[in-house]
Every structure is written in structure tokens, then in C-alpha cells.
Amino acid sequence: MAKPVEVTDNDFETQVLEAQGPVLVDFWAPWCGPCRMVAPIVEELAGEYDGKVTFAKVNTDNNPNTAVKYGIRSIPTLLLFKDGEAVDQVIGFRPKEDLKKRLDSALS
């Protein structure tokens, strides 16, 4: 089963911006309770959308430059990238069905 890849400030451009197809990036931190609630949903979606959407995680404590660049002020924040551009944003916990609708929209 596909798992989200850990992305850093150093490889964000190659892993996310240059990726083929949509990429959902989970901005999180280990101390964040809602982040721990979102993580299993993101992992389930990574399996369900394997081969269609790439899933990535950015630890904002360890990679502050990417978080600042995209204006991440609250975590968890999920950014959906398509062709190197952020096309959708989700702040805070959302149900799996809501995230699926957003992914399906990006794929259409």
C-alpha cells in the first residue's frame, strides 16, 4: 500500500512541484493533536488513490521555510498541488469524504 512520503525544505520542489499529477501535502507537527487525527485518513487515501495522487508530509517544526513560503499558520493544513501550483487548501480536521471530493475534483 502506498504511504505518504516525508518531504523536506530541500526536496519540496522535486517531490511536489515537479511531480506528475496531483500532490496532496500534509503540513503537520508531532505535538499537534488534530494532525494525529488527520494522519490515518491521509494514509488511507494514499492507498485508495495509489497511482493517481501523490501524498506527502512536511513536518513544519523541521522544515519551516516551506511552511512560511506557503503561508501555513495553522496545522494541520493540507495543500493540493497540481502542475506545481497550489489549487486547494484545507485547514484543520476534515472528514475523509470531504477530502475525497477535493481529490476527485483535482483529478477531473
The mean pLDDT value of the chain amounts to: 95
Domains of the chain plus CATH, in order, are: 5-103 (3.40.30.10)
pLDDT in tens, 74-106: 999 999 999 999 999 999 999 999 999 999 998
pTM: 0.95
Average pLDDT over residues 15-36: 96
Residues 91 and 51: their CA atoms lie apart, in Å, by 25
The answer to whether 35 is a known catalytic residue is yes
Asked if residues 1 and 47 have their Cβ atoms less than 8 Å apart, the reply is yes
Q: Which of 2, 32, 90, 91 is catalytic?
A: 32
Asked if residues 6 and 57 have their Cβ atoms less than 8 Å apart, the reply is yes
The answer to whether 32 is a known catalytic residue is yes
Asked if residues 46 and 16 have their Cβ atoms less than 8 Å apart, the reply is no
pLDDT, residue 1, reads 63
83 alpha-carbon distance from chain centroid:
15
Q: Which of 25, 35, 56, 67 is catalytic?
A: 35
Amino acid at 63: N
pLDDT, residue 95, reads 93
Question: Is residue 59's pLDDT more than 90?
Answer: yes
